[in-house]
A and B are shown apart, each in its own frame.
Chain A
Amino acid sequence: MNFYIHAPIIEDCRKGNKKAQFRLYDQYSRAMYNLAYRIMNNREDAEDILQEAFIDCFRNIGSFRFESTFGAWLKKIVVNKCINEIKKKKVDLMFCETLPHLAAEDYEEPVYDTTEIFKGIEKLPDGYRIILTLYLLEGYDHAEISQILGITESTSKSQYSRAKDKLKSILSKKPIYGQS
């Protein structure tokens, strides 16, 4: 992976160059906004997080040491801001163990459609939605998710599996678990 792909722009950002800052913003804002939206499930909160994350990013860009890609570094800022906001709001992520795993015969696999999946993810309970987002859409592994959320790796794995089952059940034409 080329960690240095944005090195000249990042160097310009370190010097406070506005044009360079907005080039990075234009390149990453959409992905970061959608990430924040999927975690917060609220567009206003996602906008606030996006703004704060980029301000922090430009303020602390001197501490970016090219040990990861710039995108991964920025994503970490966004995720941490979201998690802090969720903690501030005292949202109970409820990592529940009550749902049984979905058996193949319980599930009628639909023809998948991104709009339906998108809406399905929005309907997931907070804890499920966040783990599914971090693992499946953002590419974090369970060890990283366990650190981010302060849970064990095995909880992350089991919750991801249940989140996926729940999403399947929402998407399925055959209702399971009582869809809400």
Chain B
Amino acid sequence: MDNLEEYIMKHREEMDRYKPSPSIRKRIGRILKSRKNSAYRWISVAAMIAVILGSAVLFLKPGTQLFRKSIGGNGSNTSHQAGLQLKETEIYYNSLANSLYIEASPMLAKNPEIKKELTMDLSQIDSICGEIKKDLRDNVANREVVEALIQNYRIKIKILEDMINVLRENEGNTEKRKSHEL
């Protein structure tokens, strides 16, 4: 190591002479915030794709009731026991979804745009669930159809949970901003 290298190494910190403009920090904050707001949109798009693909499998997979229906086949007998279990599952997921929606309601009231999108997404899932349930009238014991129905309920719960997290975080940031302003 020669004298120049030695000098530079010794005074390394003095070589960082410039400070970045404070506007970069603000810009990064804005970009991260806008990405977070769009996070809900992506969650819901991803969930809808999952619902559509899941439902498509029911129509395309030979052996499922919906497949048979789509090619004009007949349904099979219903099972009372399976019907009761399914009813219980439906009640469980619906009450969970309701309580999450109640939890989110005050935050949704402050975010009408997100509320509108959420309502649309949930009603789409409900309509897919309705279609699947129609198929279950013909064969309630069909495991694949039941699984698809449960999967859709789970997606609904996941959308609500993720949305609550996004809204909570946004609220937290707003509170912080307000306290800084004071």
**Chain A interfacial positions (CB closer than 8 Å to B):** 16, 18-19, 21-22, 25-26, 29-31, 33-34, 37, 43, 46-47, 50-51, 54-55, 58-59, 109, 112, 114, 117-118, 136-137, 164, 167-168, 171
Contacts and interface: CB of A to CB of B under 8 A. Distances in A.
Nearest to B5: A136
A101 to B, nearest CB: 13
Contacts of B2: 164
Given A29-B25, A34-B16, A164-B2, 7 more contacts: A16-B36, A30-B19, A31-B16, A33-B18, A46-B20, A47-B20, A51-B28
Contact of B3 (A37, A50, A112): A112
For B5, B15, B17, B21, the residue with the greatest tally of chain A CB atoms inside 10 Å of its CB is B15
Given A29-B25, A50-B24, A114-B11, A37 B18 contact: yes
Contacts of A31: 16
B27 interface: yes
Number of chain B interface residues as a range: 20 to 34
Contact of B18 (A43, A59, A136): A43
Main secondary structure of the interface of B (DSSP, over half): helix
B8 A117 contact: yes
A111 to B, nearest CB: 10
B169 interface: yes
Contacts of B16: 30-31, 34
B63 interface: no
A22 B25 contact: yes
Contact of B4 (A16, A26, A167): A167
Contact of A112 (B7, B17, B24, B27): B7
A16 B173 CA distance: 11
Contacts of B29: 18, 22
A117 B15 CA distance: 8
Nearest to B21: A47
11 contacts: A16-B36, A25-B28, A29-B25, A33-B18, A37-B18, A51-B24, A55-B28, A112-B7, A137-B8, A164-B4, A168-B4
B17 A18 contact: no
Contact of A33 (B7, B9, B20): B20
Contacts of A167: 4
A58 B5 CA distance: 34
A146 B34 CA distance: 38
B109 interface: no
B32 A18 contact: yes
B14 interface: yes
Contact of B17 (A51, A118, A136, A168): A118
Contacts of B87: none
A8 to B, nearest CB: 18
Nearest to A137: B15
